[in-house]
Amino acid sequence: MTPPSPAAGRAPDRSRQNPRSRQAIFDAALRLVGELGYEKLTIEAIAARAGVGKQTIYRWWPSKAAVLLDAFTAVTERPGNQGGLADTGDLEADLKAVLRATVDEFNDPAFEAPYRALAIAGAGDAALAADFVTRLSEPGMRAYLERLRRARAAGEIDRDVDLRIATEMILSPFAQRWLTRNGELSHEFTDRLVEHALRGLRPR
């Protein structure tokens, strides 16, 4: 019998979690999704790898997707993994630098496997997709928006540019290529992406 989801009652008090068990569960989920893939990942496998009972996991998370989202979010929220985009006064150079670093990150199997699993799972789960956007996608989007806002104030891009659309012009082709694997995700690609995007954003 499947244990009841925490969502069936009051939201669990995460402050009561054992930090060592929590980290073991997160480490197990991230490693296993890379080894097995999302479809074969199970709560039972995570529990066995983490050395905890599956009831311990079900007490705090309603599904493997919820475990994986929390595990991946914990990685992205570590000190040094947060912060806005660099502002050297050269928007093109700054965008190229951050996207090159993002290419390296998305080509790293340790990052790619859980992120791709969550993206695919979210395609069939509206609640997970909304949580994914709020916790992972939107913070990155805000960092780009703020950098473009400063660039617009400095006269580097046209004053009438819609900053949200401008950000999507830069990030959407990257996401499309990564998700569909329809081309190499490389520094050369992102450099050209920035150059083409900025041609449409420069002051007229």
Q: Under DSSP, is residue 102 helix (H, G, I), strand (E, B) or coil?
A: helix
Q: State whether the Cα torsion 33-39-42-48 is positive or negative.
A: negative
Environment class of 39 (CB within 10 Å of its CB; exposed 0-12, middle 13-18, buried 19+):
exposed
Q: From first to last of the 204 residues of the chain, give the pLDDT tens digit.
A: 344 444 444 445 555 678 899 999 999 999 999 999 999 999 999 999 999 999 999 999 999 999 999 999 988 876 555 567 899 999 999 999 999 999 999 999 989 999 999 998 888 889 999 999 999 899 999 999 999 999 999 999 999 999 999 999 999 999 999 999 999 999 999 999 999 999 999 998
Residue with tokens 């580097």: 156
Q: Look at residues 43, 42, 35, 105 and name the one whose alpha carbon lies nearest to residue 76.
A: 105
**Residues 6 or more apart from 56 whose CB is under 8 A from it?**
21, 25, 47
Q: What residue type is assigned to position 6 of the chain?
A: P
Give the H/E segment covering residue 93: helix 91-106
Structure confidence at residue 15 (pLDDT): 56
Structure confidence at residue 8 (pLDDT): 40
Structure confidence at residue 80 (pLDDT): 55
Structure confidence at residue 204 (pLDDT): 84
Structure confidence at residue 9 (pLDDT): 41
Residues 70 and 46: beta-carbon distance below 8 Å: no
Structure confidence at residue 50 (pLDDT): 96
